[in-house]
Structure 1
Amino acid sequence: MAAPQLRLLGTRRFLPLFATQFLGAFNDNLYRSAMLFFVAFNLYRQDGTDAALIAVISSGVFILPYFLFSSIAGQLADRIDKARIARIVKIAEIVIMAVGVVALDGGSLMLMMAVLFAMGVHSTIFGPVKYAMLPQHLAADELMGGTGLVEAGTFLAILAGQLAGGLLATTDATHAMLAVAVIGLAASLFIPAAPAAADRPAVEPNLIASTARIVGHARAEKGLFRAVLGITWFFSLGAVLTQQFVPLVGQLGATQAVGALFLGLFSVGVAIGSLAVSQLLGGAISARYGPASALVLALAVIDLGLTVRGMMPSSLPAATPADIPAFLATAGSWHLVIDLLVIAIAGGIYIVPLYALLQTLGDPASRSRDVAANNIVNAAGMVAISLAVTLILALGAGSAGLFLMLGGFGLVVALASYRAPIAPPVPRG
């Protein structure tokens, strides 16, 4: 394991922020998962179509605040001590989770959606804080390792939250949500001060104008914006892959447990790649492995498409869906498992340097706004690729065809990475 970066977990400069971030990501996904299971097995138990529609709508409700409020969040984080914002956000999370308990206990779908939107706002405000704070607390040779730990922790928290939301009874899930929010607030109290790098102009309240200005500011820094586009590509791809796990297991004649296995492989693989890349780079902030990891990622997605196509139709009878052992005994299953791991590990190696560059290529006084611009572009990218995927699937491509198309686009991304590599940050005097 990566001993130097793991030592950061023993420091006050890093551990409280890491714990606050981990617990926040866990709670986001615990609530979302618990809500969707409640909807599917209580509110719409007899109507799977409506339950599936609610799942799609909930994704939009959660991501909408990134469009609306990222510009405000970035401006605030560049003006106010980021540790203070983190504590305010954690206090708000306790209130939001308390309302979430009421919503789930009362079975109010509208209130559940309102809580989901509020959690999206919570994550929108905290996003610029966590990434802009790291360069203030970590040395230059620690930043890659710290960013890798944050990314690894985030994906593992997402996995743990989703699994907990599905496994816990609703009452137990609501108790856990409140407890995690309180622990998150306690962790945030130990985050060291992270004051604004410089005085900033007053916050622009016009959401459209401020969003355009922040994204335009990031676009002016070519290397920075290339990092933003690279991050957007990976998260858009990851969103599509994870969304396809549920229908894919159905097409392969397997149970939902196999879908959980796929999600676990993806999350753990990204965590492994995130931790490994700092060691590969020796702590240096560099995207030199970006083109190679993008190429491996694209080829693995293409191979995944070919593997899935070769496994269709499943030889298993539709009446007896395969559990994990039975699925792993079928032809092509281990090939699929390896593809998922390679995609995820290559993705971790690809994404962490881009986040480190996002934190260091721009002006420190505008760092939070750069992170906010990244969140805005990420959200737009995920919406755009979701629409494209809907069209592709409507045309009858199926999961295999979809993966092949995504892999082909990934080859274009890899070629662009080779032709226009991102230069490392230049030290500022």
Structure 2
Amino acid sequence: MNTSTDLLRSKRFLPLFVTQLFNAFNDNLYKTAMVLFVVYQVYNDESTEAAFSALASGLFILPFFILSALAGQLADMRDKARIIRIVKFCEILIMFVGAVGLTLAWKGIAVDTFAIPLLLVALFAMGVHSTFFGPIKYAILPQHLRREEVLAGTGWVEAGTYVAILAGTILAGWIPVEVAAVGIVVTAVIGWLVSLKVPAAPPQGQPEKLDWHILRASVRLVRDTMHNAEVYYAILAISFFWTIGAVLFIQFPPLAKNVLMASKEVASLFLVVFSIGVAIGSVAVNRLLKGSVSARYAARSVLMMAVFVLAFYFVCKLWQADAPTELLGVADFVSWPMAAVLLLCLLGVAIAGGMFVVPLYAFLTTRVAPEKASRTIAANNIVNSGAMVIGSLLATALSAAGVPIVEQVLMCAAMCLFSAWLGDRLHRAESNAAAQVA
């Protein structure tokens, strides 16, 4: 049986997979349409644009840091499928608010005083929505899939996520903002309808009382999760990976506009290439590992990622030496000298990143008791979001200090080195655990 492709025909997996596709698509259609519109149509200053991009990323990430402990408790103690349906219904209401904000901004009505704040409120609410959906999309897999299917299922979820990011990002860069306003509401409705088909996933342990003290619950959750060495290093490695990704995504729109002199469609193309690369890496590492959950390729993958980040930086520096004087459309951009090399560097960054991160998520659901899987993912989200918020603040501070956006790319290369060390430590912990079992 071809486990990987058979999953896509399985009623145990397909509804969740499609629900996640619509979720990721809508997140990125809204977020990218909002950021590109503000960067290209409202502001006209590199530091202000970078600061807004960082603020948007930080607001989206912040709920993961604040609410993940509660989200993990709910997912482990209640039916996961029911929570998915509730969350997806709330998305319809949130996207309606976002659509109003986009429409007001498009019409030029109270842009700074009301439209942009409304857009950011909706973005924060989508972060809350994703905080409650996030632990479930991975933790539900061991409940519906056989053990040998979990890595393949994780790979498909990760690859599908980035294909959906790709689609949402392409549309956000090419369609008018008023069309995006309608699209996000329609997509939310479709996502909710598909979620009705996700099979029931009742709690697997004894129900426990929810701890509504957010800070105490978060500290306890992280502390209780990190005692397992494999989970500990997997969470730290994932956190640094997503911090790198967050900084890169913050940099792309202002870098495209101010360094490469490229249009918003090209900025969208950057995000597209990155998404394609992670999807390729997600599927490739599953083939290499042949279904086993292992970190044997982690350190090498992220070191290769660092090499491609450095190459991307040097190509940007060469580009600046002979930069165009007007914004380039996609056709003019791809025909510009060094454009193909630039895009290949970005693709290499993403492929290596996908190969690095996918097996690490499988560690989180296969190295803990099934009744604690959601809380493990939630603990990962807390640490991830904290690291990503720090990365966003650092990018904001560097922009405020006048550090050119292209020089900030070097920070990502340096962070890859530390991620490689974490990947190596994870592989050693994995080998030690295997030796003890033997």
Q: Give TM-score, length-normalised by structure 2.
A: 0.88
Counterpart pick for 1:251 among 259, 276, 283: 259
Residues 300, 342 of structure 1: 8 Å contact kept: yes
Residues 239, 382 of structure 1: 8 Å contact kept: yes
Cα distance in 2 for partners of 1:416, 1:174 equals: 41
Q: Which moved more, 1:248-257 or 1:132-141?
A: 248-257
Counterpart pick for 2:304 among 296, 308, 311: 296
Partner of 1:75: 73
Cα distance in 1 for partners of 2:99, 2:313 equals: 41
TM-superposed deviation, 1:160 = 1.9
1:80 partner amino acid: R
TM-superposed deviation, 1:399 = 4.3
> Closer, same or farther in 2 for the Cα pair 1:99/1:398, shift >3 Å?
closer
Residues 159, 279 of structure 2: 8 Å contact kept: yes
TM-superposed deviation, 1:311 = 3.0
- 1:146-195 per-residue CA deviation (whole Å, 9 max, x = no partner) reads 11111111122223223323433344323322221221112111111111
Cα distance in 2 for partners of 1:321, 1:329 equals: 14
Alignment of 1:27-426 (within 5 A): 27-36=26-35, 39=38, 44=42, 54-106=52-104, 108-109=114-115, 110-249=117-256, 250-313=258-321, 315-318=322-325, 320-393=326-399, 398-421=404-427, 422-423=429-430
Residues 231, 351 of structure 1: 8 Å contact kept: yes
Residues 34, 173 of structure 1: 8 Å contact kept: yes
Runs of 5+ unmatched residues, structure 2: 106-113
3-state SS of 2:221 partner: helix
> Closer, same or farther in 2 for the Cα pair 1:28/1:261, shift >3 Å?
closer
Cα distance in 2 for partners of 1:390, 1:49 equals: 8
Name the Cα RMSD after superposition: 2.7
Residues 145, 283 of structure 1: 8 Å contact kept: yes
Partner of 1:20: 19
State how many pairs are aligned.
Answer: 424
Partner of 2:7: 8
- 1:32-51 per-residue CA deviation (whole Å, 9 max, x = no partner) reads 23434555677x47899777
3-state SS of 2:163 partner: helix
> Closer, same or farther in 2 for the Cα pair 1:8/1:72, shift >3 Å?
same
3-state SS of 2:226 partner: helix
Residues 61, 113 of structure 1: 8 Å contact kept: yes
Cα distance in 2 for partners of 1:40, 1:343 equals: 25
TM-superposed deviation, 1:69 = 1.0
Cα distance in 1 for partners of 2:382, 2:374 equals: 12
- 1:209-259 per-residue CA deviation (whole Å, 9 max, x = no partner) reads 001111111221221021111111111111112222223222133333332
TM-superposed deviation, 1:113 = 3.0
- 1:121-144 per-residue CA deviation (whole Å, 9 max, x = no partner) reads 111000011111011111122111
TM-superposed deviation, 1:375 = 0.8
Residues 299, 411 of structure 1: 8 Å contact kept: no
TM-superposed deviation, 1:260 = 2.3
TM-superposed deviation, 1:76 = 0.4
Residues 17, 191 of structure 1: 8 Å contact kept: yes
- 1:314-350 per-residue CA deviation (whole Å, 9 max, x = no partner) reads x2442x3333444344443333222111111111111
Q: Give TM-score, length-normalised by structure 1.
A: 0.90
3-state SS of 2:407 partner: helix
Cα distance in 1 for partners of 2:40, 2:350 equals: 31
Partner of 2:110: none
- 1:284-315 per-residue CA deviation (whole Å, 9 max, x = no partner) reads 111111111122112222222233233332x2
Cα distance in 2 for partners of 1:403, 1:38 equals: 23
> Closer, same or farther in 2 for the Cα pair 1:234/1:30, shift >3 Å?
same
Cα distance in 1 for partners of 2:176, 2:331 equals: 26
> Closer, same or farther in 2 for the Cα pair 1:166/1:298, shift >3 Å?
closer
Residues 30, 172 of structure 2: 8 Å contact kept: yes
Residues 54, 393 of structure 2: 8 Å contact kept: no
